[in-house]
Amino acid sequence: MKRIIAATIAILMLALVCFTGCGSQSGSLQAIKKEDLKVAFLYVGTIGDLGYSYAHDQGRKALEEMGIETTYVENVPESAECEATLRQLCDEGYNVIYATSFGHGEWVEKVAKDYPNVYFGHATGYIQSENTENYMGRAYEARYLAGIVAAMNSPTGKIGYVAAMQIPEVIRGINAFTLGVRSVNPNATVTVKWTNTWFDVTIEKATALELINSGCDVIAQHADSTAPQIAAEEKGVKAIGYNSSTPDAAPTAYLTAPLFHWDVFYKKDVESIMNGTWQPKSYWGGLKDGMVSLDTLTSNNVAGTQEAVDAAKAKIEDGSLVIFSGELKDNEGKVRVEAGKSMSDAELQAFDWFVEGVIGTIG
């Protein structure tokens, strides 16, 4: 796994340098009238997961409300099957394709070269070419706020985290969450358990139960189902969801969730295709852009939680709080970011270490 992360880092650093040099629309791409648009989405899971794929599908529906033709394909694995799906959609006349999982990236890169007239978008990735862009929300900003919520509602200071894949996106989120936790309780810990899958109800619930049985009284997640929240509900502890608002899944456990608003990106992106201003880019919108947010806090939260969240949110939005600024140590005590310095976007995109306070390993 560390070899995979290392290779990814090298590509990310090169790609991020290129992002600042995007030119105007070029190559074979042409503006497309609304009535001629055919937009396809590839989901790694199902829209019924009430998680990541569901959140993207809300963005797709926003395009339909604009009168744009769309379609979607569920359960597209991060394998050669993805390539076949992409080629089929291109051959069927879809001229804008969004692949929404990190592992779809290598197949997008390959297929995009053969279909220069098709616009491609890759979520959570780094690929960029004449007809390919990448996009993501600064979910780590919302995760920092979620960490504040977790710490406020954790009498023990022992918080569990059900984590999917060992990639920079997930690691970055864990670190931001932990920094939020320790802004409230400097002695709190976040124990991370990997599922090594984006969506598996059985594994996610079992992982959450393992954390709860070890003494964690709040469960957070970077996983696509509500299973960790349901486990928390059954065991009488608190839970923080992800991707969508799911208080009904765990009525007495659910505190809040970091949310994506993919429609913010999809609508702007498609509008740029229609008016001929589209450029290959790396889009990374945050709280201030409305791309991410923290769900409304439920009544399960202790008094003072909302005020703590509001104060931190205001500082993030006005720039007075930079989440990944020094001094930052890793969870082995090594200084990774010196006092007075902050991590660049390129470094954030390549995260491969845990901050102090995380109990867990990478690799």
Residue 133 lies in a domain: yes
Average the pLDDT over 264-281 and give the result.
98
What does the alpha-carbon distance between residue 142 and residue 112 come to, in Å, rounded to a whole number? 32
Asked if the model's pLDDT at residue 91 lies above 80, the reply is yes
Spatial distance between the Cα atoms of 88 and 175, rounded to a whole number of angstroms: 39
In a domain, 193, yes or no: yes
Question: When comparing pLDDT for 23 and 284, which is higher?
Answer: 284
Instruction: Provide mean pLDDT across the span 296-304.
Output: 99
pTM score of the predicted model: 0.89
Q: In terms of domains, do 99 and 187 share one?
A: no
In which region does residue 149 sit, left (phi positive, over 0), alpha (psi from -120 to 50) or beta (all else)?
A: alpha
Average pLDDT over residues 201-228: 98
Is residue 290 assigned to a domain? no
Looking up residue 128, the CATH number of its domain turns out to be 3.40.50.2300
Shared-domain flag, residues 155 and 116: no
How confident is residue 27, by pLDDT bands cut at 50, 70 and 90?
A: low
What pLDDT band is residue 157 in, cutting at 50, 70 and 90?
A: very high
pLDDT of 1 strictly over 90: no
90, 114: one domain: yes
| Same domain, yes or no: 119 and 250 | no
Q: In the prediction, which pLDDT does 28 show?
A: 76
Percent over 70 (pLDDT), the chain: 93
Using 50, 70 and 90 to split pLDDT, how confident is the model at 6? very low
Residue 9's pLDDT is: 43
With a cut of 50, say whether residue 286 has pLDDT above it.
yes
Under the banding of pLDDT at 50, 70 and 90, the label for residue 234 is very high
Return the higher-pLDDT residue of 20 and 266. 266
Give yes or no: residues 312 and 209 share one domain: yes
Q: Is 53 contained in some domain?
A: yes
In a domain, 92, yes or no: yes
Are residue 218 and residue 281 in the same domain, yes or no?
no
> Do residues 8 and 128 share a domain?
yes
The pLDDT assigned to 22 comes to 40
Residues 276 and 353 in one domain: no
Residue 15 has pLDDT above 90, yes or no: no
Number of domains in the chain: 2
In this prediction, what percent of the chain has a pLDDT beyond 90?
90
Q: What is the pLDDT of residues 165-178, one digit of tens each?
A: 999 999 999 999 99
What pLDDT band is residue 24 in, cutting at 50, 70 and 90? very low
Rounded Cα distance between 80 and 191, Å, is: 34
Can you give the pLDDT at residue 319? 97
Residue 360: predicted pLDDT: 98
Are 293 and 261 within 8 A, CB to CB?
yes
pLDDT at 96 over 80: yes
Q: Nearest CA to 178 among 325, 329, 356, 346?
A: 356
* Confidence tier at 23 by pLDDT (50, 70, 90): very low
- Asked if the model's pLDDT at residue 21 lies above 80, the reply is no
pLDDT tens profile 61-72: 999 999 999 999
Q: Helices 139-152 & 168-184, crossing angle to 10 degrees?
A: 40
Q: What's the CA gap between 182 and 192, in Å, rounded? A: 15
pLDDT higher than 50, residue 2:
no
Site of tokens 């291109």:
90
- Taking the C-alpha atoms of residue 313 and residue 303, their distance in angstroms, rounded to an integer, is 17
Does one domain contain both 352 and 214?
A: yes
Are 17 and 94 in a shared domain?
yes
pLDDT tens-digit profile of 312-329? Answer: 999 999 999 999 999 999
Question: Based on the domain organization, do 253 and 305 belong to the same domain?
Answer: yes
Distance CA 74, CA 113 (A): 24
49 — pLDDT class (breaks 50, 70, 90): confident
Q: Average pLDDT over the chain, rounded to whole?
A: 93
Domain that holds residue 17: 2-137+261-285
Q: How many angstroms separate the CA atoms of 295 and 193, rounded?
A: 24
Residue 205 has pLDDT above 60, yes or no: yes
* 177-199 tens-digit pLDDT: 999 999 999 999 999 999 999 99
Q: Tell me: do 79 and 64 sit in the same domain.
A: yes
pLDDT at 214 over 90: yes
